[in-house]
A and B are shown apart, each in its own frame.
Chain A
């Protein structure tokens, strides 16, 4: 089995032993950024899942 999870799949929990060299490496956080695209259409909003109401009786 490969150590690399498929892209888009959350890795399973595990314990990783660190040696001294790893310990010194700073945690790298991704910076906020804007990524331009070539798409031009208007965006249809992603609404959070909400309970749909039953039709009025």
Chain B
């Protein structure tokens, strides 16, 4: 994507290296593109992240103090950043202007559940001697088009499905579904499931009933209980998929050792749809979209997972492990047979809503995220993407204060909850740097306040107060802006 030269005839390893060289030369001559993919599970703040990123980049020419830790800004090399005209290539345009105008009225943008993109042209003075020379010869600054794609993290949770057959997936899903909180949420689905067997005759009507109840369980698990390891991800975030009949499947109770079903049975009917889902939805996303991305940020609401209690926290760990599969490129992995050529080479995992945690505990939030998933195991393989972890707030909507609680003076944040006329203080408790021990969990705290955004100028002049947005961009794009 980043090159006009066709390297497709070369073996993958050479093609990848050649594309990188080509991208570098393209940047020097002006006109290169880098694809930055933004994802995160529902309510992790993707839309606000992209809106703040664009607004702050556009504002840097007027107010460089907003993003001092982004090298191209801190070194005063940024000439200008502008929104590229909408492209007619099929993906919906990210609604930056609508979002910033809404935030200027002290409200947050609406949730989205599909994929969108937007291009930002960044013109800058190169930092290296060669870049400076080319810039002087051509008489123009270097240009990098930053193409930002925003898609639901739920879609990445589907990657492990490609390594499973329908029977395996059904057994694994139902094992999880019959435990703890999930068993309670899924009781209507489980009651219906008890009335059906894989050996019974295939029926479109039964498949649809099971699918509807299963979807209702997924929605309630996500929206009322904050669970995130929910498959299939497209049942929750469809994008432009609509509701085709091949989606109408659900797990069935299947005995160990049974992997194939007699023709004409409900089991065979469901298994066929599961395979179509994998082929038409999961694989297609990776082949049509994901393979183009070179940089990725994954937003994770670590705070909500921690405060939601042990089950929600453990569930988020499962979701993170599933998401990490999308950045393992080593030989033998699912991705190695799906994607050839260049791949994502830098991934940043960001614990969002860092403004809900007092300054003194923010590093804990990042450390906790690092210790939640198998990041260290991924980092040792050079074939995988380079990973980093940070805490981040795309918009700071709180101020710091202290408060006496039960005789102890503690740090709190204060903000005005959306829809309220009065400010509230929020005491987050102790944010540990490692997952709490089993006996250290208290009762869930599900009412994490949603504070209204601060006063925001919709014109790209002042920018938006943030935490670590510039550091995040420096990790993701700093090398491409040199």
Hey, which bits of chain A sit against chain B, CB under 8 A?
7-8, 29-48, 50-53, 56
Q: A30-B406, A43-B415 are in contact. Are A52 and B68 (CB under 8 A)?
A: yes
The 27 listed contacts between A and B (C-beta, < 8 Å) are A7-B404, A8-B409, A30-B406, A30-B429, A31-B445, A34-B424, A34-B425, A35-B425, A35-B427, A36-B422, A37-B414, A37-B422, A40-B423, A42-B454, A43-B397, A43-B398, A43-B399, A43-B414, A43-B415, A45-B396, A45-B397, A45-B454, A51-B74, A52-B68, A53-B65, A53-B68, A53-B74
Residue of B69, B414, B445, B454 near A50 (CB, 8 A) is B69
Q: Distance (Å) between the CB of A37 and the closest chain B CB? A: 5
**Across the interface, do B465 and A47 meet the contact criterion of CB distance under 8 Å?**
yes
Which residues on A sit within 8 Å (CB–CB) of B454? 42-45
Q: A8-B402, A44-B399 are in contact. Are A34 and B426 (CB under 8 A)?
A: yes
Q: Is B467 in contact with chain A by the CB < 8 A criterion?
A: yes
Query: B449 — nearest CB in chain A belongs to which residue?
Result: A34
CA distance A6 to B398 in the complex (A): 26
Q: Distance (Å) between the CB of B122 and the closest chain A CB? A: 17
Digit string of B343-365 for contact with A (CB within 8 Å is 1, else 0)? 00000000000010001000000
CA distance A12 to B415 in the complex (A): 32
Digit string of B407-438 for contact with A (CB within 8 Å is 1, else 0)? 01110101110000111111111100000000
Query: A56 — nearest CB in chain B belongs to which residue?
Result: B76
Q: A30-B427, A32-B429 are in contact. Are A38 and B65 (CB under 8 A)?
A: no
**Across the interface, do A33 and B405 meet the contact criterion of CB distance under 8 Å?**
yes
Q: Is B447 in contact with chain A by the CB < 8 A criterion?
A: yes
Which residues on B sit within 8 Å (CB–CB) of A31? 429, 442, 445
CA distance A7 to B76 in the complex (A): 44
Determine the main DSSP class of A at the interface with B.
Answer: loop
Which residues on B sit within 8 Å (CB–CB) of A34? 424-427, 447, 449
Which residues on B sit within 8 Å (CB–CB) of A33? 405, 426-427
Q: Is B455 in contact with chain A by the CB < 8 A criterion?
A: yes
Query: B466 — nearest CB in chain A belongs to which residue?
Result: A47
**Across the interface, do B396 and A46 meet the contact criterion of CB distance under 8 Å?**
yes
Which residues on B sit within 8 Å (CB–CB) of A36? 422, 424
**Across the interface, do B422 and A40 meet the contact criterion of CB distance under 8 Å?**
yes
CA distance A56 to B445 in the complex (A): 48
Which residues on B sit within 8 Å (CB–CB) of A46? 359, 396, 398-400
Which residues on A sit within 8 Å (CB–CB) of B430? 29-30
Residue of B73, B424, B429 near A37 (CB, 8 A) is B424
**Across the interface, do B451 and A43 meet the contact criterion of CB distance under 8 Å?**
yes
Digit string of B60-76 for contact with A (CB within 8 Å is 1, else 0)? 00001100110001101
CA distance A53 to B282 in the complex (A): 46
Q: Is B461 in contact with chain A by the CB < 8 A criterion?
A: no
Q: A39-B422, A40-B421, A52-B68 are in contact. Are A32 and B76 (CB under 8 A)?
A: no
Q: Is B287 in contact with chain A by the CB < 8 A criterion?
A: no
Q: Distance (Å) between the CB of B57 and the closest chain A CB? A: 16
Q: Distance (Å) between the CB of B301 and the closest chain A CB? A: 15
Which residues on B sit within 8 Å (CB–CB) of A52? 65, 68
CA distance A56 to B74 in the complex (A): 10
Q: Is B403 in contact with chain A by the CB < 8 A criterion?
A: yes
